[in-house]
Structure 1
Amino acid sequence: MLNLVTHDAITEINLARPPVNALNLELLQALRQVIDEAVRSGTRGIVLSGAPGMFSAGVDVPALLGRDRAGVHQYWHEFFTTCAVLARSPVPVVAAITGHSPAGGAVLALFCDYRVMAQGTFRIGLNEVQVGLVVPECIQFAMRRVVGAYRAERLLVAGAMVESEQALSYGLVDELAAAEQVVPRAIQWLNQLLALPPRAMLATRALARADLADAYADVDALPLDDFLDGFFHEETQSVLQQLVARLKKKG
């Protein structure tokens, strides 16, 4: 589910769960474990990449709909824990957005330090509203940090998916590159950061990201039960079931 590539002092964690890198429980657990292990092993930076044309399609909705409340709670707790690991990472993380990045894929990218996206017709955004899900405050907060309060409101309420050029203009991603250059450019940016005096850079980074780290200091304190109530709401379940039915037809 994950491929690890070492680039000198940088660890690339490549999402490898075909066909669309859907985030199931096992992938999230593996991702969190690999990030922790990379940090313990002394990596100085992490690049999180996906497959050509698809960074991650987000939450594995078909798998999630088959779970009871306890199972859904376990999944979302793991999802927010993964967000916390990225938010509180002691080393910088770059999202190499190699293609489409809806919903959960976009969320993971928001918690990284920097975002390089493939140019072209690829889309990114938090489209949860379109599938009947409420975007919780802890995710809205991460979006506001990146694009500002008003732009976050407009994108979140509409559940908007925007193409790469528009994402760049909104600040949702930091730069664009040709698809085959997304990972090399992410590594290049990270190497430039790592060339700075490390103590000063890392201490300044920690101060700059303290609000995000503090927001995810205790995942158990997040209003997960409220989020689950929304997930099991009749409207949400109906929309998600329709989504799964469409996906099965495409398959």
Structure 2
Amino acid sequence: MCSLERIGDVYVLCFEGDVDEHRLNPALCEEIMEKLAIVNASDAGALVTTNEGKFFSNGLDLAWRDQDPSTRTHAQSVAFNSVLEAFLRVNVPTIAAICGHAAAGGFILALAHDHRHMFQERGFLYMSELDVKILIPPKVMSLIRSKLSPRAFKEVVLKASKLTASQAKDLEIVDSAHPTPAATLEAALAEASQLASRKWNKDLYLNMRLTMYPEVVARLEAKL
């Protein structure tokens, strides 16, 4: 599932398992939110989220949902929206170290972070919804729109492009691209440590982020 480790003033949340696609279901979303609550209650100054294996996250757990679509579709949507809101409400800077594929919900999860670094030799950022004939929900679309430039938004949403780290950097979706997973995590930790050293007021930082994305927060808060 996921682990939480503190390194100095930085917490590292890691999706564990070399062969796991880190699909998002209510159980994993609940575990993530429990870890984020620990970060919020601590004196740490930043959070890095990363992964083991080939996937940062391959999106929602469709196999879990399809066992009982009549009840699980809504439960999965609520859980996913809640975890996105939880990341937006972390009271310290958040950095994603994307060391594998981030598709659909996994890509959106990465976008919920303040900063992103990516492994360039393996993995794509990919919103698959056009290809699989699924409409992106308004709550999620508002987050994507708030995080991407018009050029990047067109590539991601209206072209369903599979973006390499270099392409994502060119579109300013990620801040940097690196040759190994270790280098990617190192870059994220370096930025996290630098930001943590600023010792910003946590309530102020949180409210600054919430003020940046008022539409996203309002939509995610509306649980219906």
Encode CA deviations 1:30-57: one digit per residue, 9 max, x unaligned: 0011111221133221111111432111
Q: CA deviation at 1:159?
A: 2.3
Whether 2:110 is the aligned partner of 1:109: answer yes
Identity of aligned residues (%): 20
Q: Which has the higher helix share?
A: 1
Structure 1 counterpart SS, 2:136: coil
| Counterpart AA for 2:16 | A
Corresponding residue number in structure 2 for 1:190: 192
RMSD (CA atoms)? 2.2
Read off the aligned partner of 1:78 and give its amino acid letter. A
Establish whether residue 181 from structure 1 lines up as the match of residue 161 from structure 2: no
Partner of 1:2: 2
Question: Structure 1, residues 159-212: CA drift from partner, whole Å, max 9, x if none?
Answer: 22211111111111111122221112111001111222523x973673354242
SS of 1:46's equivalent in the other structure is strand
Alignment of 1:118-137 (within 5 A): 118-137=119-138
In the alignment, what sits opposite 2:47?
Answer: 46
Unmatched segments (≥5 aa) in structure 2: none
Is the contact between residue 13 and residue 47 of structure 2 (CA under 8 Å) also seen in structure 1?
A: yes
The equivalent of 1:29 in structure 2 is 30
Counterpart contact for 1:97–1:117, Cα < 8 Å: yes
Distance 1:136 1:68 in 2: 17
Secondary structure of 2:14's counterpart equals strand
Paired residue type of 2:8: D
CA distance in 1 between counterparts of 2:67 and 2:194 reads 45
Matching residue's letter, 2:4: L
Q: 1:52-131 to 2 correspondence within 5 Å?
A: 52-131=53-132
Q: Which amino acid aligns with 1:195?
A: S
Amino acid at match of 2:80: F
Q: CA deviation at 1:97?
A: 0.3
Instruction: Give, in whole Å, the separation in 2 of the partners of 1:145 and 1:44.
Output: 24
Give the TM-score normalised by structure 1: 0.80
Question: Displacement of 1:149 after TM fit?
Answer: 2.6
Distance 1:196 1:74, change over 3 A: same
Which residues of structure 1 form unaligned runs of 5+?
Answer: 225-251
Indicate if the aligned counterparts of 1:128 and 1:159 stay in contact, CA closer than 8 A: yes
Larger radius of gyration: 1
Counterpart of 1:184, as a letter, is E
Aligned to 2:13: 13
Q: Distance in 2 between matches of 1:207 and 1:5?
A: 26
